[in-house]
Amino acid sequence: MEKLLGTTLSATFWATHNPGPTFSGSLDIGEDGSASLRVTGSRAALMALDALPSFHMHGVAEGKQITLFDCFTTWVPHVSADNSARIVVNIVAFGDLIESTETGVASALSFTTPEMIRWANLRGLTYNSNKEVKATYSGKRTMEVHAEGATVQFSTGIKIETSSVSELNLVERNGVRIAFDQPQSILDIDRWVTKVCRLISLALRCPTVCRVYELEQKKGGPITIVTHSSKSVAAETKMVHPLFIRPKRQALYARVLRSWFAEYDKLEPVISLRVALLSQPAKFREFEFLTYVQAVEALHRRTRPARTLVDKKQYADLHGKLVEAIPSHWETKAEFVNKLRYLNEISLADRLRDVFAYDKELLGALFRDEAKDVALIKDLRNYFTHYDGKKSERVLAYIGTTKFYYLTAKVLLLLEIAMLREIGFSQAEVRSLIQNDPTYRDLCRADHSR
């Protein structure tokens, strides 16, 4: 599948909304999955494409059918007689003509990424004189879990590739295959790939992307999808020890996968905040700290929506009285009423105390003085988000120290512990994972006090 990256395909193309005019040209697919199209054709047809914000295209290259999704022109000459254009393509489907990104076409999805070997936890390889290769993995080679209308299967294996008599290559073939109960569209497939890659990113503490994946159809041949995904080589996380790998026990494995897919939409903003920083090669410590704290707050808000200052019914009665008390002739009454909607929400400090209460023993070793640490995190977050132009020499002095680095790392670990709980790990399982984490042991010895 990866052979499509870094290639150029010559083909004939046409826009799906107007299949009459055809364009000849070449499709360039970069190593990162980015695709661009250079075409020549009728000037009127090119100008018509240029007037559209986006469009889909069909084509035929080397006897294979191609669908190009979400295209837009980046260059069409308006003055010269040159009848050519450059077009950016967001998604390439190689192997079939698909009507739209919302058409259900795929009965199954399969892909692999370089990070999959860490997720599968390859223990070792043996190779004997009979050219027999044996791979030892943590846990079973293949396990299936049915979740959210699909059967998810992570597989492991080694494939032998020989390019000559003297050369033998062992290719690691870890991958994921998802078989769907109902046909899925390209948009649906993209969401599934994102969910799986983000699970592995969270688990391994490193950015995981998928540029090429293969779709199966109940009728018709396979479809190879190429999408653009950027990944900086310099963006590797310093926390190289995985948070967790593919669980060995089938019961735990099934529980975590089902919980991940079931809770994904609710946790998505939190996951986005966490995964976004994995792909940033250079980031300010203040930005890291603020992002992790905001993620902890968002996680608590989404998973504990009933946590308010007073009962919601009580506040509804109080809210009516407060609104009635605001003079109707005030021009700013609408703004006051809008602000009253949030008066019943608990503070960041309250949310932090709830998160700390999850496991006093585990978190007490990281944050030895809960009251002071909650106040410290709250004060720093408020300084970064509610800055009023007055510099705090005490805060500025603290964020320039190694202690602030330790505090940032501890808040990240606090977020990870809370995430583990929400995606299906029990308290005992979370404690086992974290207490065996070298990062946790190092941070327990680090002083972050102000």
Residue 387, number of CB atoms within 10 A of its CB = 11
Average pLDDT value for residue range 138-150? 78
Query: Could you give the maximum distance between any two Cα atoms of the chain, in Å?
Result: 92
Q: Answer whether residue 422 is part of any domain.
A: yes
Asked if the structure places residue 195 within a domain, the reply is yes
Distance CA 70, CA 203 (A): 32
Residue 450 domain-assigned (yes or no): no
User: Which residue has better confidence, 266 or 387?
Assistant: 266
Q: Is the pLDDT of residue 367 over 80?
A: yes
The tokens describing 41, both together, are 């054709």
Tell me the three state secondary structure of residue 207: coil
Banded pLDDT at 219 (limits 50, 70, 90): confident
Handedness of CA 344, 350, 351, 357 (dihedral sign): negative
What are 8's strand-pairing partners? Answer: 28
- What total number of domains does the chain contain? 3
Q: What are phi and psi of 150, to 5 degrees?
A: -155, 155
Q: How far apart are CA 48 and CA 65, in angstroms?
A: 24
Two tokens at 312? Answer: 């919601």
Give the model confidence (pLDDT) of 353-363 as tens digits.
999 999 999 99
Range(s) of the domain holding residue 226: 106-234
- In-domain check, residue 179: yes
Label residue 420 left, alpha or beta by phi (over 0 means left) and psi (-120 to 50 means alpha): alpha
Question: Residue 1's pLDDT is what?
Answer: 46
Instruction: State mean pLDDT over 271-295.
Output: 86
Helices 333-340, 312-325: axis angle to 10 degrees equals: 170
Residue 378 and residue 297 share a domain: yes
- Please check whether residue 269 is in contact with residue 422, taking contact to mean a CB–CB distance below 8 angstroms: no
- Together in a domain, 114 and 60: no
The number of residues in the chain equals: 450
Q: 68: buried, middle or exposed (CB in 10 Å: 19+, 13-18, 0-12)? A: buried
Residues 86-112: tens digit of each pLDDT: 999 999 999 999 999 999 999 999 998
* Mean pLDDT value of segment 228-244: 62
Enter the pTM of the model: 0.85
User: Domain check: are 19 and 123 in the same one?
Assistant: no
Work out the average pLDDT over 64-71. 94
**Which pLDDT value is given to residue 232?**
47
Residue 201, helix vs strand vs coil: helix
Helix residue ranges, H only, 304-426: 312-325, 333-340, 348-356, 360-364, 370-385, 393-399, 402-422
Question: Would 243 be classed as within a structural domain?
Answer: no
- Both 299 and 187 in one domain: the answer is no
| Assigned domain for 101 exists | no
Same domain, 217 and 89: no
Residues 372-418 pLDDT 10s: 999 999 999 988 887 666 667 788 889 889 999 999 999 999 999 99
Same domain, 56 and 142: no
Question: What mean pLDDT is predicted for residues 335-356?
Answer: 84
Alpha-carbon distance 210 to 212, whole Å? 6
For residue 327, what pLDDT is reported? 82
φ/ψ (deg, to 5) at 101: -70, -10
Closest CA to 32 of 6, 62, 65: 6
Range in 134-138, 174-178, 259-263, 417-421 with the lowest mean pLDDT: 134-138
pLDDT at 163 over 90: no
Task: Verify that 311 and 426 share a domain, yes or no.
Answer: yes
